[in-house]
Structure 1
């Protein structure tokens, strides 16, 4: 499984880029997104799974013929989530959005840095352990070595994964 983390400040284009990648990546893809707001709704108001969760169930699983929805009413450590997704979904790619601090020291995660301006590049890359790729497709800063298209980004990720297995 190739793990890719998208790192950038709010409104830097992380979600937009991930959506674009989901349309062109070949293989199974799983996504983990950091939600910073408490009380964020994941289930549909009024449906049974929503009611069970609100009535005190610690975990609720909705099992349909075509998908499974798991809601656990407690935070789970990131590495446990990664292992669970790896086991359940068996993705070729795991895409992470919003886990800057958790992945910055990991060499098993390819970090895609999305600056909103050239001034943010240093701040976003400071202290970050390779591998990382700077994506300039939204900010237009065109630094040496940065990529500015989805196809270039995919090629860079695949090249790194092939070299580092």
Structure 2
């Protein structure tokens, strides 16, 4: 069940403070963090998307947020709590993407579809507590297990289990050390 909007806002601010050492104050996060603005707009657009007759306004809001933040989140995506999009620019999250709780996404990340299949699931599912590095591309109806790390510029096109460390093109699971 989603958190109350004010509680969710507090959770988001706390998540940014926890994940971004450059975050100096609550005011700075509220006013200047475009990744957070994109997530907050997504939440409104997602509610509209689920309401009959509001799909067009939902898409318009998502496109307005994209123009303002550089982050495109389709209102049909399903996103858990405390998502942090650090630096934000050029992040794309597709319509059937599913993102768990406590996920950190850096700039230039794509959670994209691989083929046109109407309303079928065609975008990635990302588990809880996953970090996705700058420029990574996760393509297709794939699953990334919880507590995984996707390295910068990795291209992921197949499923990986929990606690994976994914690097390369195409991405392979590298053993964790320590």
Structure 1 or 2: larger helix share? 1
TM-score between both structures, scaled by the size of structure 1: 0.29
Q: Which has the higher contact order (CA 8 A, sep 6+)?
A: 1
